[in-house]
Amino acid sequence: MSLNWDREFAFLEVFSKDIQEGPPLPAADPDALARHAAGVMRLQDLLSLITTLPADKRPSIPRWDDLLGPLWREFFIKGDDIDRYVLGDLWRRVLRESGETERFLRSSAAVASSARNCCRPQEALSCCLEGRKASDGEDSAALVNLLNTEGTVYVVLRDFESAEATFRQALAIAERLPENAPLLHARISKVDLVAQEYMNIQGTQLQRGLEGPDSERTRWAERAEETIRAVSRMPLSGETRRMLDIDRATLALLRGEVEEAGVQLTGYLADPAVEKGPYRYSLKPMICRLLSLTAVIQEDWRSAYIWIRTALQEGVNHNFPVEDHLVLEQVIRILRGLHDIQDLKAQDTLVEDLSQLLVDKDWYTGGSHSRGVSRLSERIARILIADNQWAIDLQTMRKAGLLHDIGKLRIPWSLLNKIAPISPRERSILQDHSIHGGDILRQMGLDGLAAVVEQHHESLDGSGYPTGKPPSPMAAILAVCDVYEALTTPNRKYKDPKPRAAALAEICSESGTRFHPDVVNALVLIHERDAVIPETDGS
């Protein structure tokens, strides 16, 4: 196949400019989303083709990478981490085969970051290891960037010892680089590159102190303060110094100077400068998370919940490595402090608070869809209890319906809302949400709900996931209601619902294989009784 590479490069330039100048994807209108999806599909076809071509048939790899390298960053900034993950991985294979080592390292760092953000830390570490081997020990800014990413994966895994050791390796290399070293799309000076690694070290020390036992806090506060002093003496850019100020406020938290830290953080949040510079996509979620921690220390759990919700909302439009993971860890801590799960009435409030967090992440999944599944599940359960003597607790059924997709808190927004066709690799990530949901609910102490939520994509014939075993009775109900609501409820900005009769026919065609026949029959009965099942309220 012969292509006009100049024409395809011109398409790439226009596509890159549109992304750079456009809004974050969560704020884009349907037409912009459709154009973005079309561009992604065309680019995926191009990169897939290039991987199959011999070297002499490929376009100029450095020329294309000069455009694609920054494009991966724009994908990340604008909320499209999933396409950076898939397309970046295709491209890095081309870079590796072409012998473009530094470019391969940079692309590997981008893909590893996305794998980490998709809750696949081991895949991220494998990607980093592959990059390390390719570097053959040669110093470069690209290797610093790769090690920096590897360190953040260890932070996510709570392996702080390995994280700090990796950041120190990156620091040593950054300090050895000549002043005029080519930073290859890094967009920062050598001074800021070095400072970045110091701040990664002190950030690890601060996090270690905040998460560890009280007896260790003084030790980690002293170590972090020593690192902060070293960075303070550097001629930093304004943006890097702003990050340093936030670390100082975190140090005050670690020392127990809670009111002082709260005042500092609130002031930073009100500063218009948080919307400027290379860290503009990270500061708001980070500050809100730290303000929630301030409230936790003061045992003001309701304020802590409000701040962490704000952090989650900001994180949809403002991406930052590791921040999503830290926010979700904080969510679990806050909700456990806010609610007594032994009190059934308080448990209802906990379920509502968890459900609201999913609305903050994705309005459709957490709102109209989950509430519709909950209502329909309860209606079907009542029929099965009366007609088939199924032993079902209606309150548990209602709560499981509300929280069946809670694991999507750990799925990138860009995958939940993807218009372009989903690849098998992406589908695998999306399917992880049932396991994530069970894990989140168990950490909350809701073990009974966790078991139901984990199974809501299992099938009667064993063709479902994650275990390939038939679902429990309540999970079997959720399985039908989830599919029915997804097919019939007006949902995404870009997706029209199916007629209810067509959706019912589709489900009936899989009765006895994918779906439990008793549940399907109950759905048919509801359909016949109501003629039209009431619309969800979208709340």
Note whether 441 and 403 are within 8 A (CB): yes
Q: Which of 403, 388, 378, 389 is nearest to 474 (CA)?
A: 378
Instruction: State CA 452 to chain mean position distance.
Output: 23
Cα(293)–Cα(295) distance, integer angstroms: 5
Three-class SS state of 511? strand
Note whether 144 and 108 are within 8 A (CB): no
Q: Which CATH superfamily includes the segment(s) 353-530?
A: Hypothetical protein af1432 (1.10.3210.10)
Three-class SS state of 118? coil
Three-class SS state of 207? helix
One-letter amino acid for residue 437 of the chain: G
Note whether 141 and 193 are within 8 A (CB): yes
Instruction: State CA 449 to chain mean position distance.
Output: 23
| Tokens representing residue 189 in the block | 């000076």
Domain with CATH 1.10.3210.10 in the chain: 353-530
Please give the pLDDT value at position 183. Answer: 56
Supply angle C-alpha 293, 287, 317, rounded to 5.
Answer: 120
Q: Residue 466, preceding bond cis, omega within 30 degrees?
A: yes
Q: Which of 230, 206, 228, 229 is nearest to 218 (CA)?
A: 206
| Tokens representing residue 327 in the block | 């926010």
Note whether 220 and 208 are within 8 A (CB): yes
> Quick count: other Cβ atoms within 10 Å of Cβ 529?
10
pLDDT tens, residue order, the chain (539 aa): 467 999 999 999 999 999 999 988 888 888 898 899 999 999 999 999 999 999 999 999 999 999 999 999 889 888 888 999 999 999 999 999 999 999 999 999 999 999 998 999 999 999 999 999 999 989 998 999 999 999 999 999 999 999 999 999 999 999 999 877 655 545 677 888 898 899 999 999 999 999 889 899 999 999 999 999 999 999 887 778 888 899 999 999 999 999 999 999 999 888 877 666 555 667 888 899 999 999 999 989 989 999 999 888 887 765 555 777 888 888 888 888 887 666 666 678 888 889 988 888 887 777 788 999 999 999 999 999 998 889 999 999 999 999 999 999 999 888 888 888 888 889 999 999 999 999 999 998 899 999 999 999 999 999 999 999 999 999 999 999 999 998 988 765 556 788 889 999 999 999 999 999 999 999 999 998 876 544 444 33
Residue bearing tokens 């902060």:
228
